[in-house]
Each structure stands twice: as structure tokens, then as C-alpha cells.
Amino acid sequence: MKKPLIYAGIEGGATTFQIMIINENGNILGQWEKEGFNFAIIGIKKTAERIASYIEDIKKENNLCFSFAALGLGLAGAEDNEVNEELVKYLTENFSHIANYFYVTSDSIISIASCFKESGIVLISGTGSSCRLLKKNGTIHFVGGWGHLISDGGSAIWLSIKAIKLLFDLEDGLIELPYSHEILKKIILNHFKLTNHVQLIDIIYGANFSKANIASLCKVLALNAPIDPLIEKIFFECGEELGKHIVAIVKHVDKEMIDNVPVLIVGSMFKSWNFIKKGFWSIIENNQKTHGYKKITLYQQNASPAIGAIRLATKNAVFKMDKGCKRRLRTNFTETQSLYLEEAFLESHYPDHASKRAMSKNLQIPEDRITVWFQNRRAKWRRIECREKTDRFTTKPNYQTNLSGEGTVPTILKNSFKNLCSNINFDNDMVRKKISPNQYHGKIEEYNSYLTFTNGTSNEKCQSFSSSINNNFNYQQFSTRGEEVSNCLNTRNSMNDIVNNPSFAINNNMPYVMNTTSARMIFNYDDKNCFFS
């Protein structure tokens, strides 16, 4: 009897780092939280080492003895595909004992994949803001998310700085309003414990500048928005900024989405939805005819984003395996073309789009072939001049995926990937539950909702790892109950039982217990119904 393969997904936010493990039937076997970090800040090597350390700690603490068939990573700061590929390569070369296949994308993209079956939009507004579109063919479009100095419109840091700037403009007499700004002034000064507005300069420009500290003003302003027209106006403009994100990105959606554009909303700013929704919908309504969308539907997250990381990892693994079975097309460069490209490589290892377009025109070669040539040349350069290969681990998994596309792929692994892809699906009625505008008017609807799989498995309450752990045990508590769990798992580990005995999972009903009640916020705009209540 073959051993079922195990998969893992990671949501690597800047604050928290969530790891989820599931089997090929879609049953969630465990979930843990670690300290978060930003991939773009700490770099490839430290990111890979920290991920490996987290996983090894979990395996050691819980007496787990298997590697993953695929590991999907959704990391904060992972916005550059070329850098993501470098991380995949580094993980594959140095930590192949952890997983057979790695996939890396941003944390915002795995949120989309956790809520929508094929494509969708995520609008994030917390301390910062961004908007991302994942299309059916896997391509990604970006709007915003470039930091508070040039972007982050409609976020907490944007709103707080706008309120502070407005206070300075009013105090200086640069603008005049028909109502008083005394409430705004009092709130800002009291929040930062200051006596006059000039002292704000040190908070904004001083050595102790903190985005989180300035953004914290937003919460206090929200509490006073119902009683002050000036603060209410700021929140209205905040909603307009978020609406502009949707209008900008909706131009790139697939044709089948244009009739009903699904948007996942994430972030603390949406707790103030009552104050920002009018500005948001005003932008959506004013641009409806120009861009041709008929309906915008907003959703609140109902499943762990780590599920999305696993879905994308398995989908891309199957794609690469199928692609690897075919002979890859290669471009034969002439000696003149090769010399020309080598000279260009010496000038810049990372040519921009305009440079590659000029090369394509001069050499009469398609631009995508130019891009592939530079990718291969950079890889060769790193091997020869920039990287010393070290065999840090000698143990290898029994099954190996050849990422270069050469050689054969074990049928058992490929079939397992496809089995998992088919099992991790969403019931459209659950994910896209429609509400009547006349009935709910944009309010939060409470109802029981589970992430479901095609084999009938859901994440309802079920048996825990060990009979000595009660049914209400939450695996996120490993960090605080490590000794107790370790004692339970040293004698018998049900996750290892599943790997060694496939029938164990069927007999013991293993899916991990997640929230039994979820709140999903759904708001609709279409050409017939537009409501702001």
C-alpha cells in the first residue's frame, strides 16, 4: 500500500507566520504560528534559512518524520517573480530534504487563491494598502502597495498623515472650511500627548518615526467620525482612494469576470466600513460606464490563506510536470547574436523592458527569447562567479521532481498532485453566497460556513491528534503547550500514522478543527442597485 503524500502551505506575513500541513485528500493535519518577517527586507538566504528552521522545529517538537511533496509560500514582500524564482532555486539546492517542490508568491496572492477557485481581486487596507489581481492564466496585476511615501492610498497611515496635514493647513490658514477643526486638533494632540501641533514635526520626521505609531491615530479618528463632519470627510476620501484601486485594476480582469467582479477585502480599515463605503461606492458608480463592469461583490476571508499557498503550489507543480514531459523549444543563436547579447550582459545583468525590446528589434529575435537568454545567462554567472555550492544535507527524499524539465517524473507523485488539486475545491454557493440588497443592505451576515472539499470533507470539529488531547484542542497552541503536546506525541503520533497507514485517516477522521462560525461581509454594486446604508 502506497504512503499518502503530505503538503504544506505558509502564510508569511510581516507580523505572523502561519504554517499549515494537509494530506492529499485535503484533510488539515496541523497548523502553527511563528514570528513573521518581510522577505524583501531580510533577503533570500535568511528567508530560506528561517523557513527551514521553523519547519525543522515543528517536526522535532512533534516527532514528525516525513518531508513534503510540495511547499507553497506566500510571503510579505515577495512581489518580484525573478527574485521569487531565486528563492525557489536556493531552497531546492539547499533544503530539498524539506520538500520535493517549492512555490513562492506574495501573501496577497495566496489570499485570493484561498477564496476564489480560479481568479479574483484582493483589496488590502491596513497600516498600508495594495490591490492585486490573480487572473485565470496565473498572471498577476499590481496596483499600489509601494510604501507610504508614494502609495498606500486609503490605508491607516494615509488617513492619519492626511488628518495631520489638514490640521497644519487649517492652522496656517492655507484652507478654510465652513466648520471648526477644534475636535480634530484635540484628538490628534491628545493621542500623541502633545501641547501644540508644531510638536508633530518630531513624530513625523524625527529619528523615532514609526508607521505603526502614526497609523494608530486612525482608530481614534474612527471613534469620532460620527460626530465631526471634518473627520467624516477624511474617511469619505479614504473610501474614494480604495475605490480608485478597484477601478484601476478592473481594466485587466478576465472577460468572464466583468459581469460580476469578485473582490476580497482584507485589513483593519474595513472595520470602519460604515464611514468609508460612501466614498468607495461613489468611485465605483462614477466609473461603471467607462469600464463596463456590471457588478462588484466584496467578500471577507473565510479560510486560512495558507490553503491558497497549497493550491497554487500543487497547480504549478502539475503544470511543470506536464510541461517537463514535452520537449522544450530552444532558440539557436548565431555567433553574431551571441556576441551582441554577451556585450549587453556585461553592461547590465538585468536589462529593462525598453532595452530588451531594442535587442529584439536589432537581432530579429522575439523578446521573450531575449528574456529567457538573460535568465539562463544569469544562472550560469551565479554558478561560476557568485556562489560556492555546498552540500549541507546528504539526505534526499525518496521521490525527486526534476525542475529542469529533463528526465522522468514518478507517476505516484504526479497523480498525488492532481488528486490534491481536485480535492481542494470550493463550493461556489458557499464562497459566493449572494444576498438581497433590499434585505441586508451591506450589513455583516453571520452564518456557519466551512471550507469544503469535493470528497465531502470539511473543517468541522473532529478528532484531535491523540486520544489524550481533547476534541477542543487548537494546534495553534503548540507554542504555549509544547511540553504537554510533546508528551502526547512521543508515544504515538497520528500524523505519522497517516503517512505509514493510509487507512488510519479514514478510520480516525483527521481534518483539523477551524472556526465553526465565520462572518462574511458581502456588498453588491450593480447597474440597477447601488446602496450605501
Task: Name the E strands within 151-269.
Answer: 261-266
Give the pLDDT score at 371: 86
Q: What is the pTM of this model?
A: 0.62
Nearest CA among 210, 196, 274, 280 for reference residue 238: 280
Alpha-carbon span 471 to 178, nearest angstrom = 61
Query: 40-57 in b/e burial notation, b at 16+ Cβ within 10 A?
Result: beeebeebbebbbebbee
pLDDT of residue 162: 97
CATH 3.30.420.40 intervals, the chain: 6-100+304-323+405-424+463-510
Cell of 292: 463596463
Report d(CA 123, CA 125) in Å as an integer: 7
Q: Where in the chain is the domain with CATH 1.10.10.60?
A: 329-403
Position 497 scores a pLDDT of 52
Q: How far is CA 122 from CA 43, 305, 424, 494, in A?
A: 25, 12, 20, 36
Whole-number Å distance between alpha carbons of 76 and 98: 21
Q: Give the C-alpha distances (Å, rounded to integers) separating 108 from 28, 58, 111, 308.
A: 21, 25, 5, 10
Residues with Cβ within 8 Å of 439's Cβ and at least 6 positions away in sequence, in order, are none
CATH superfamily of 6-100+304-323+405-424+463-510: ATPase, nucleotide binding domain (3.30.420.40)
pLDDT tens digit sequence for 359-383:
888 887 778 788 888 888 888 887 7
Query: Residue 403 in contact with residue 320, Cβ under 8 Å?
Result: yes
124-147: per-residue pLDDT in tens? 998 889 999 999 888 889 999 888
Residue 285 is predicted with a pLDDT of 94
Whether 380 and 82 have beta carbons less than 8 Å apart is answered as no
Domain covering 329-403, topology: Arc Repressor Mutant, subunit A (1.10.10)
One DSSP character per residue, 115-130 reads H-SS-EEEEEESSSEE
- Cell digits of residue 143: 496596483
For residue 425, the 8-state DSSP code is: -
Looking at residue 138, its pLDDT comes to 82
Cα 90 to Cα 109: distance, rounded to the nearest angstrom = 22
Q: What is the pLDDT of residue 77?
A: 82
pLDDT (0 to 100) of residue 64: 82
pLDDT along the chain (533 residues), means of 10: 80 84 87 86 91 91 85 88 91 88 91 88 92 90 90 94 96 92 96 95 92 93 94 96 96 92 92 94 94 91 87 80 49 79 89 87 80 86 62 43 39 68 55 35 31 33 29 32 35 48 41 33 37 28
> Each residue of 397-410: b (16+ CB within 10 Å) or e?
bebebebeeeeebe
Supply the pLDDT for residue 52: 92
- Strands (DSSP E) contained in 115-226 are 120-125, 129-134, 140-144
Question: How would you classify residue 88: left for phi > 0, otherwise alpha for psi between -120 and 50, otherwise beta?
Answer: alpha
Contact between 76 and 503 (Cβ < 8 Å): no
Distance from C-alpha of 283 to C-alpha of 245, rounded to nearest angstrom: 10
C-alpha distances in Å from residue 228, one per residue of 135, 187, 225, 232, 452: 42, 11, 5, 6, 45
Rounded Cα distance between 101 and 315, Å, is 11
Nearest alpha-carbon partner for 134 in 125, 122, 143: 122
Question: Whole-angstrom Cα distance, residue 241 to residue 243?
Answer: 5
CB distance 303 to 337 below 8 Å: no
Amino acid type, 9? G
